Amino acid sequence: MRSARPAEANASALEPRRHDTAPDISPDISADLFPDTLPPVTPACWPKDGTRAAAALEALIAGPQNQADYRPGWRLAAYVQSLEYDGWRIRSRLFKHPRCACPIAEYTLDRQDPATAAALAKRKQAGGIAPELAGWLALLAVVAMLVGWR
């Protein structure tokens, strides 16, 4: 019995597909055809004041944090995870810290994320006072009281 002829196919499902048929869209332009019909962005939830998660969020707003340099607590990863559950977008990367034998995570608040940006903008609109400004206001109040008592 003769063997079957080898299969010759010009097109096959096994060939890799080309995924370059979509137009080139820059990252800052929404890929949605009707962006006005998208639901509004829900801002991330702020943690309750006085909690470890609130302290971690304030530290992340100030700048990148890692466990070796984070002073308010020893479970930074747990606080970051609870913030992520509340809708905050936090980026992490491994890096080699001089005081640690193994690489550790460094966490950064992703301010480009829509939910994070909406929560930060909402907090600014609420009219909170920055801690350094509150210190200066207290100092001015003390000076005003001392000048007024003479």
> Per-residue pLDDT tens for 10-51?
655 565 655 544 445 455 555 778 878 888 888 999 999 999
Three-state SS for 93? strand
The pLDDT of residue 14: 63
As assigned by CATH, the class of the 44-124 domain is mainly alpha
pTM of the model: 0.60
Domain ranges of the chain: 44-124
Higher pLDDT, 143 or 87: 87
List strands edge to edge, sheet with 65-66. 65-66, 104-109, 90-95
Q: Write the single-letter amino acid at 115.
A: A
Q: Write the single-letter amino acid at 133.
A: L
Residues with Cβ within 8 Å of 115's Cβ and at least 6 positions away in sequence, in order, are 41, 42, 43, 44, 87, 88, 89
Query: How far is residue 123's CA from residue 144's CA, in Å, rounded to a whole number?
Result: 30
Comparing 63-67, 68-72, 83-87, 130-134, which segment has the lowest mean pLDDT?
130-134
The pLDDT of residue 90: 96
Query: How far is residue 119's CA from residue 133's CA, in Å, rounded to a whole number?
Result: 21
Q: Write the single-letter amino acid at 18.
A: R
Higher pLDDT, 143 or 110: 110
